[in-house]
Structure 1
Amino acid sequence: MNHAAEPDRPAWYASFGARTPAELIAAATDDLTDPAPSADAPSDPFEPLQQIGWTPASADNGLASPDGTAYLQRLGSAEEPGAWFVTATIAPDRPVWQARFGAHTPARLVAAFTAALADPRPVARTGSLRSLPTRDPSVVSRRTTDVLAVHVAGALEERVHSLAARVTAPPTSPVPSRQPPVKNGRCR
């Protein structure tokens, strides 16, 4: 995602690697498109992860998951904050996926992503995702079952209804309707 600069806000971006879990990307895009963001949603990307036991990473401005397989890092300094990086790995040199958010990406969008990352509810995985590598077999069970199409359809329908139920604000300035040209009464 790329967002162009506006008069009062610099350009920003969010990018997701090929194996970034869909529910994490959905959390960020849902927050981005929400016409009325929740006032009680976290705005500090570190907060949801700290609440579930992520701890400060060694020498950088970031956090590491308790099992050491995921990291959140904020580049830059307090005076000049930089980009955000979220990485899931199976070993220090073997990343599984990475998400990146530019320095000017709204903090609430990054926080929506980290809140979804912190969500303890299990997510159904099928097909090639069953063999997702992991250091700790208790983190991702290799004993999975196929998800029935009716459950997938039900989840999709629930998501569509949830998104459609969001309150939308009227446009800030109405678009004037185009008036047909005035006829002068002559024919050709």
Structure 2
Amino acid sequence: MTAPPTPETVEVEFIAPRHLAGGGDPAWITVPLHRACGWSYGHDPLMPRVILSSPDQKALLRLEPAPGRQWWTLHHTSGRDRPAWYASFGARTPVEIIAGFTDALTDPASTAPVADPYEPLHRANWTSISTGAPGLVSPDGKAMLQRTDDEGAWFATAALGESRPLWQARFGDHTPARLIAAFTAALADPHPVPRTGSPYSLPTRNPSLVTSTVREVPAVQVASALEERVHALAARRADPPVNPSALRRPPTRNGHTR
């Protein structure tokens, strides 16, 4: 048992592996896209959704609660050397893993060559799947990355068992490999992710599946984490579009805290 937090501290639970940590706070993605990367948003206050569009109007990110469907969907228009592509993520996909993808997408200095999405997983000791589509499985057997064929779509999934799926991420045939590699690097990252709020929001508390460490963290540190992320991403740009007075957040789905 941990002592109850004081008014100056917040009880934070750090969960590993991160693919079993649950979704987290959508603001970890939506707020930096708006404030650090210049994505614009519009919303209908009567609809529980967020729609963000990139400054060049080539990418559109939609966050929309829809039972039985992917909650995050990003569509990108075709370019001079690439057809249109898409990526989507289930509701319980940890925001830290989705952020690996969106941070790479919005990095103005990215000159990375075509990357191998399997490489970060090989380094993290993921192993080949013995049956079905080619791919890799995590050391705990709860997450997989697969591809339909050599030129096809990619799928990342996490599940507690055959009948207990948690989330799936999908990447269309023409999604840039470097972005999928950024996603898999975030997926394989061994560092635990923080979660606050109701413990019942976690997919599992089984100690044989997840490692949970509860700490009392200064409230100011918890409150400033998102702001620090915004400024770190804005610093990537020579002329960042951050407006210090734009403290208003894009709306996010209720019920998630980071």
Same fold by TM-score greater than 0.5: yes
Distance 1:16 1:148, change over 3 A: farther
Partner of 1:47: 119
Out of 58, 65, 70, the residue aligned to residue 143 of structure 2 is 70
Report deviation, 1:72.
0.3
Superposed CA deviations along residues 57-87 of structure 1, whole A, max 9, x for unmatched, are 12321000111100000112x3xx1111110
The AA in structure 2 aligned to 1:83 is A
**Structure 1 residue 159: Cα displacement:** 0.8
The aligned counterpart of 2:192 is 122
Q: Secondary structure at the match of 1:71?
A: strand
- Give the match for residue 110 of structure 1: 180
Count of paired positions = 165
In the alignment, which of 23, 27, 35 is matched to residue 100 of structure 2? 27
Identity of aligned residues (%): 63
User: For residue 214 of structure 2, what is the aligned residue in structure 1?
Assistant: 144
- In the alignment, structure 1 segments of 5+ residues that lack a partner are 170-188
Partner of 1:173: none
The letter of the residue matching 1:10 is P
Where 1:159 maps in the other structure, the secondary structure is helix
Q: TM-score, normalised by structure 2?
A: 0.58
CA contact under 8 A between 1:56 and 1:63: conserved in structure 2? yes
Q: Point out which structure has higher relative CO (alpha carbons under 8 A, 6+ apart).
A: 2
- What 5-or-longer segments of structure 2 have no aligned partner? 1-73, 240-258
| Structure 1 residue 153: Cα displacement | 2.4
Please report the RMSD computed on the Cα atoms of aligned residues, expressed in angstroms: 2.4
Counterpart of 2:226 in structure 1 is 156
Runs of 4+ residues over 3 Å off in structure 1: 128-131, 133-136, 141-149
Please say if residues 126 and 145 of structure 1, whose CA atoms lie closer than 8 Å, have aligned partners that are also in contact.
no
Q: One-letter code of the match for 2:220?
A: V
Instruction: Give TM-score scaled by structure 1 length.
Output: 0.78
* Larger-gyration structure (1/2): 1
